[in-house]
Amino acid sequence: MVDMVYRLQDTICDAIGALDASSYREDEWTREEGGGGRSRVFSEGNVFEKAGVNVSVVHGTLSPEAAAKMGGGHDLVGEDLDFFATGLSLVLHPHNPMAPTVHANYRYFERGEGVVEGSWWFGGGADLTPSYLFEEDAVHFHQVHKNVCDRHEVADYDAYKTWCDDYFHIKHRGERRGVGGVFFDDLRSQSKEVCFAFVEDCASHFLEAYMPILERRRTMAFTAQQKEWQQLRRGRYVEFNLVYDRGTKFGLTTNGRIESILMSLPLTSRWEYCHEVKPGSEEEAMMNVLRQPVDWLNR
């Protein structure tokens, strides 16, 4: 898993750099409690306003508070709070409001020696967050992930799609963060090798799921008003990540590296008091989908 996340970080950063004709800032960091990571962030390139691809490989001892924030009942697994965790996390925010933001995260977590039932598990997924709705983009993104899930008995696309819609729910707004994708956690129903094979396959198809969409949208014309709408949607992105995201909460309660934890936030965003969309507008079409998730592959 450690080898995979470092390899994919290189592959994805090479693809971003080739497209954006820009380079990243790299920070290799260590954590006092144990382990460290490698953060790479592209800022203000030709295509991406901000793009971050992070790897972490950390170990230490969980506080009871941090264990409780893990979810899935894992805070109840024995008394051993020693842990090992590794993962790849990325968020890409394009300049063009017609091109969607994308997020992906793949991780492995282990309590103690990782031999007690329930003491190890995989998690992750990928989701698409457009400002403007292009149905063919949502269909493509979901189809790539369904194809991966269908190759692995341990995976369940329909369940992971629903889980994604439910997880990325901005409850205080009554809307989803985007058009979804797949999300899974506590993956340990078969052997580590079988679970890892699925996670590796899914993570390795990130570029296939996202880059064709980006290529279609990154040079489209847009107006100042459409850019403002993108900024409002990015404000919603911030709200979810700071209020609900379990990874953010976990990182902040385990003395994680703050710059890496908050890498996912956009470079710029906007909040308007009592903003309303116009009936019949493209913005309303986007909001309708965010308020009621769609089965993109069976429309």
Residues 6+ apart with CB under 8 A from 267: 43, 44, 49, 50, 93
Distance separating alpha carbons of residues 30 and 37, to the nearest angstrom: 6
d(CA 203, CA 108): 13
By C-alpha distance, which of 188, 182, 191, 276 is closest to 229?
Answer: 276
> What crossing angle do the helices spanning 157-167 and 135-150 adopt, rounded to 10°?
130
Helices (H) and strands (E) in the chain, counts: 10, 9
Structure tokens at 159: 């369940």
Q: Are 110 and 83 in contact (CB under 8 A)?
A: yes
Contact 107, 122 (CB under 8 A): yes
Residues contacting residue 71 through CB under 8 Å, at least 6 positions apart: 185, 246
Answer for the pair 97, 131: CB distance below 8 angstroms, yes or no.
yes
What is the DSSP code string of 280-295? TSHHHHHHHHHHS---
Q: Which two tokens stand for residue 185?
A: 């956690």
Determine whether 74 is an active site residue. Answer: no
Catalytic residue among 93, 95, 103, 142: 103
Q: Annotated catalytic sites, by residue?
A: 103
